[in-house]
Amino acid sequence: MELTTIWFVLIAVLWIGYFVLEGFDFGVGTLLPVLGRNEGAGGATGETRRRQMLGAIGPFWDGNEVWLLTAGGATFAAFPHWYATLFSGFYLPLLLILVALICRGIGLEYRGKVDSAAWRRRMDVMIVGGSVVPAFLWGVAFTNIVRGVPIDADMEYVGGFWNLLGPAALLGGLVTLTLFLTHGAFFVALKTDGRLRHDARALALRLGLVGAVLAVVWLWVVHASTGTPLSWALAGAGALALVGGLVAGRGGREGWAFTGTFVAIALATASLFVALFPDVMPSSLDPAWSLTTENAASSQKTLGIMTVVAAVFTPLVLAYQSWSYWTFRRRISGHHIPTDVHPAAATDETVARDDGAVSTR
Amino acid sequence: MDALDLARWQFGITTVYHYFFVPITIGLSLLVAVMQTRWLQTRDPGWLRLTKFFGKLFAINFALGLVTGIVQEFQFGMNWSDYSRFVGDIFGAPLAIEALLAFFLESTFLGLWLFGWGRIPEKLHLAAIWLVHLGTVLSAYFILTANSFMQHPVGYHINPQTGRAELTDFLAVLTNKVQLVAFPHVLAAAWMTGAAFVLAFCLWHLWRSTDRTPAADKPMYRKGAKLGAWALLVAGLAVTVTGDLQGKVMTDVQPMKMAAAEGLYEDVPEGVGAPFSIITVGTLDGREEIWAVTVPKLLSYLATGSMEGAVEGINHIQERYELTYAGSELTESEDYRPVIPVTYWSFRIMIGLGMAAMAVAAGALWVLRGRGSEHDETRMVGSRLWGWAAAVVLFMPLLANSFGWIFTEMGRQPWLVMGLMTTRTGVSPGTTGAEVLTSMTVFTLLYGALAVVEVGLTLRYGRAGAEPVAEDLSLDPADRTDDDAFVFTY
C-alpha cells in the first residue's frame, strides 16, 4: 500500500477514535441537566446524579480529547495542505469549537472547586454549552469536507462562513449530536447505578430512535453523491449496529447497547472517509482543484518516519488507555459520591448546610 | 492593523498566556512527584499533606494549560497556513509525535492520579504522577524540536518543483544544536518555576501568624520551603550554565539576535572585548546612552566564550543580509533587525528575574537553617521582608520564562524560519482581518476572564493551606471496600 494511503487510513482511525470516545463524554456533558434531576422524596438529589455522571467521564475525557489533538498533528505532518486549507478555511466554526472545548474543560475541572450552587450552575452552563457546540459542529464540518467546498486553484477555501451551513451540513450536525447523546446516555447506563442507570437507558432508547432516522437520511444524502460500494456497505453496517445496540438496550444489556453505538459511530465515520478517498478535501468548483492524498501529502521520507513512530507508539497508547478504562470500570453509585467538602471549597452555603461542622478530610 | 499584524498579536497573546501554565505544570508535577515519593519513603503525614496541597494547585493550573494548548495545535493552520504548507513536512512531525507520545501520557496518567487516590495501589499511584511529569518533559522536547527548526533550520532541502522545505535527515532535526541547548535551558527554567511556586506558598504560610496557619503546621511548611528553595537553586544553576551555552550557539546561528540583545550597532573586532550593559538610561534602543552600568568584555564572553572575541554589530549584519537574501519573495525584507528595545530589555529582565529568584531562595535557606527548633519554625512570622519575598518569588521565574520566550521569538524577527521565510509570507492568505480580529478579541476576553477565575482559585486553595489528613483514612485500596465513598471525584 502507498504510504499516503496508509496515512489516510491512520488519520481516519484517529478521527474514529476521537468520535467514539469523546462522543460519549460530549453526550454525558450535554445530558447533565436532563438526567441530573432530583428523584423526589427518598431518591438521590440532582446534584448527586450529576456528580455520578461527571465522575463516570472524569478520568477519561481529557485522554479522549487527545485523539483530536493527535488527529490535528498527524494531518499537519502527513498532509500539510489538508491541515492548512481545512483550518484556515473553516476558521470561524473552528474558533467556536475551540472556545467550546476551552469552556468545557474548565467547567469540568473547576466545578467541584467551590461549594456554591451559583458556581456549579455557571460551570454546568460551560460544560453543557461546551459539549453541544462541538458535538453539532463536527457533523457540520465533516459533511462539508465529504461533499466538497469551494476550493480554488491555490488550494485556498473561498466559500465564506455561511456556505458551510447548508441543509445537508446542518442535518449532519444533528446526526452527530443525537448519536453522541445516545452514546453518552448508554455510557451513563453502563457506568452508574440506581435510578439514574435506568433513566439513562430509557432516554438512550428514545434518542437512539431519532438518531437512527436522522442518520439514515444523512448517510443516504452523503453517499448518494459521493458513495462507493464499500462506503455504502459500511454505512449500512453502521445503521445495523445502531439498531442492534438499541435492541440490546431495550433488553437491558447496557454493555452491548454501548458497543452498538460505539460500532455505529465508528462505521459511519469510516464510511465518510471511504467516500472521501482518494480526495481529502474535494473542490466543488473544479475537481482538478481538489486536495488529494497525493497533492496534499508530505514527502515519502516524512511519511515513512511517521509510520514507524505510529506503529511503535499507537499500540502502547491503546494499551495504557484501555488499562485506565479497566481500572475505573466499576459502576458509580450515589454512595460513592463524597459528602465532605474540601476546606478551601467551603462557602457560607457549606456552613449553613452542615451547621458549622465542615468536615476536615 | 492588517490581518498579518493581528495574526501576530493573536499568536503572541495566546502563546504567552499558554506559557504561564506550561512551566508551572512541568515544574510542579516534578515537585509533587518528589513529595509523594518522600511520603511513601518516610510515611511522614506532612509529605502527604504537601502532596495533596500542591496536587490541588497543580490540577488548577494544569486545566488552563491544557485548554489553551488546544488552540496552539490548530493555530498554525488557522492563521499561518502558508507557513504550514511550506514547512509541514518537517514541522508537523514533531507536533504529531508530541501528541502521540506526550499528550496521551499526561492526560491518561493525570486522570489516574487525580481519581486514583484510594482506588489504585499506592506505588502505581506514585508511578502515575511520575509519568505525568515524563509526559510534560517529552512534550517540551518535541515542541522545542519544532521551534528550534524555526531558529536554525537543519536536516531539510528545498524541493525545486514545489518550492517547499522537505525533510532529509530527521535525526539532524531532533538533535539540532539549538535544540540541544534550548531543551535543557527551558526544562530547568520550568523546574525553577515549579520550585518557586512551592517556595512561595510555603514561605507565605511560614510568614502568617499562628492564628491563621497553625503552629503545628509550621514544620511541614518549613520542609516544603526548603525543598522548593533547594530545587530552585539547583535548577537556577542549570539555567545559568545552559543559558551561557545558548549564547555561543545563538552568536553562531543568529548573530543578529545576539547583537540585538545588547543593542550593539557597530562591530567590535577581535582583541578588544565588547562590554555588556546591565542597565542603560538613554534612548530606548540603546543607540545613545546617558547613563549605563556596564561590565567590560562580558558580551564578548557571552557570545564567544572569550573575553576578547569579536562580536558583529547590527549594522554590519543588516548589510550582509540585504545582499544575501535579496531577490526572493520568501526572504526579502526591508529590515532584518528585530525591535531592538524589546530584545534589549526582555533579555535583561529575564536574567534579572532569574537571579533575583535565586537570591530569594538562598536567603530563605539561610533563614531556615538549623535543625528546626521552635524558634526556627516561627522566625519568619510577621516579617515584612519575608511576606514580600513570598509574594514576589512566585512571579520571578514565571515572568523570566515569559520574557525569555519574548526575547527568543521577537529576536528571530523578521524571520519566521531563519534564513528561509519571513513572517510576512507565512500568514494565511485567505483569512480576513475581520476574522482574525474576531478570534483575537474572543480569545483575549475569554483568557482574561479565565485568568481571574484561575488566580482566584489558586489563592483560595493556597490560602486554605494543606488540609489535615484523617488518622483513620487509608489510601491503600486493600483497606477500602466498594461501599466507601471515593476520596476524589468531580
Query: What is the per-residue pLDDT across B234-273, written as a single tens digit (0 to 9) for each?
Result: 999 999 999 999 999 999 999 999 999 988 888 888 888 8
pLDDT for residue A307 = 96
Question: Percent of chain B beyond pLDDT 70?
Answer: 97
User: From the CA of B327, how many Å to the nearest CA of chain A?
Assistant: 23
Indicate the pLDDT class of residue A360, thresholds 50, 70 and 90: very low
How high is the mean pLDDT of chain B? 92
Q: Over 70: is that where the pLDDT of B424 sits?
A: yes
Phi-psi region of A298 (alpha: psi -120 to 50; beta: other; left: phi over 0): beta
* Residue to substitute from B74, B117, B168, interface A, most A β-carbons within 10 A: B74
DSSP for B428-484, written as a single string? -SSS-HHHHHHHHHHHHHHHHHHHHHHHHHHHHHHHH-SPP--TT----GGG--TTS
Residue A185: closest CA among A260, A99, A270: A260
CB-CB neighbors (< 8 A) of A54 in chain B: 489-490
Q: What is the pLDDT of residues A285-313, one digit of tens each?
A: 999 999 999 999 999 999 999 999 999 99
pLDDT of residue B334: 87
- Where in the sequence is the domain holding A246, given as residue range(s)? 3-353
* A249 belongs to a structural domain: yes
Lowest-confidence pick of A39-53, A131-145, B27-41, B233-247: A39-53
Question: Nearest-CA neighbor of A80 among B4, B164, B331?
Answer: B164
**Residue A222 and residue A157 in contact, taking contact as beta carbons nearer than 8 Å:** no
Residue A112 has pLDDT above 80, yes or no: yes
Please state, for a pLDDT cut of 90, what percent of chain A lies above it. 90
C-alpha span between B251 and B274 (Å, rounded)? 13
Query: What pLDDT, in 10s, does the model give residues B440-454?
Result: 999 999 999 999 999
For chain A, the farthest-separated pair of C-alpha atoms sits apart, in whole angstroms, at 73
- Cα gap B319→B244, rounded to integer Å: 28
In whole angstroms, what is the distance from residue A121 CA to residue A115 CA?
Answer: 11
pLDDT of residue B168: 95
Write down the mean pLDDT value for chain A. Answer: 94
Confidence of residue B18 (pLDDT cuts 50, 70, 90): very high
The yes-or-no verdict on residue B130 having pLDDT over 70 is: yes
Cβ-contact A361, B473 below 8 angstroms: yes
What pLDDT is stored for residue B471 in this prediction?
66
Flag whether pLDDT at A353 surpasses 90: no
Instruction: Identify the sign of the CA torsion B143, A295, B154, B172.
Output: positive
Q: How confident is the model at residue B288 (pLDDT cuts 50, 70, 90)?
A: confident
Does a cis peptide bond (omega within 30 degrees of 0) precede residue B414?
yes
Determine which of A66-75, B29-38, B463-472 has the lowest per-residue pLDDT on average: B463-472
Cβ partners under 8 Å of residue B216, min gap 6: none
Mutate to test the interface with B, among A7, A48, A88 (most CBs of B within 10 A): A88
Cell of B111: 486522570
Q: What residues have CB less than 8 Å from A188, skipping those under 6 apart?
A: A28, A31, A35, A52, A53, A56, A196, A197, A200
Name which of A359, A285, B419 is nearest A351 in CA terms: A359
Contacts of A76 in chain B (CB under 8 A): 76-77, 84, 88, 91-92, 95-96
What residue type is assigned to position B347 of the chain?
F
Mean pLDDT of B460-483: 82
Per the structure block, which three cell numbers stand in for B450? 479565565
Place of cell 500500500: A1
Q: What is the pLDDT of residues B301-326, one digit of tens each?
A: 888 888 888 888 999 999 999 999 98
| Range of weakest confidence among A80-84, A348-352, B130-134 | A348-352
Q: Is residue A358 part of a domain?
A: no
- Res. B405: pLDDT tops 50: yes
Which residues are within 8 A (CB) of B77 and not within 5 positions of it... i.e. 6 or more apart?
Answer: A72, A76, A83, A84, A86, A87, A88, B84
Q: How far apart are CA A53 and CA B226, in angstroms?
A: 41
Total number of domains constituting chain A = 1
Which residue in B85, B88, B485 is closest to A335 by CB distance?
Answer: B485
Q: How far apart are CA B423 and CA B417, in angstroms?
A: 8
pLDDT at residue number A222: 92
C-alpha cell of residue B342: 524589546
Kindly indicate the confidence band of residue A361, based on its pLDDT and cuts at 50, 70 and 90. very low
State the burial class of residue B316 (Cβ atoms within 10 Å of its Cβ: 0-12, 13-18, 19+). Answer: middle
Contacts of A128 (CB under 8 A, 6+ apart): A29, A30, A32, A33
User: What pLDDT, in 10s, does the model give residues A175-217?
Assistant: 999 999 999 999 999 999 999 999 999 999 999 999 999 999 9
Q: Please answer whether residues A111 and A120 qualify as being in contact, where contact means their C-beta atoms are separated by less than 8 angstroms.
A: yes
Q: Do the domain assignments include residue A360?
A: no
Chain A CB contacts of B108 below 8 Å: 62-63, 320-321, 324
Is A217 contained in some domain? yes
In chain A, residues with a C-beta closer than 8 Å to the C-beta of B96 are 70, 73-74, 76-78, 306, 309
Nearest beta carbon to residue A298 from set B71, B88, B485: B88
H helix intervals, chain A:
3-35, 46-57, 61-78, 80-89, 91-110, 117-147, 167-191, 195-226, 229-250, 254-276, 300-327, 348-353
Query: Which of A73, A91, A155 is opposite residue B95, by nearest beta carbon?
Result: A73
Percent of chain B with pLDDT over 90: 75
CB contacts, 8 Å: B64 with chain A:
106
Given this model, what pLDDT does residue B375 score?
A: 66
Map residue B488 onto helix, strand or coil. coil
| Residue in B289, B290, B245 with CA at minimum distance from that of residue B264 | B289
Residue (of B156, B207, B234) closest to B377 by Cα position: B207
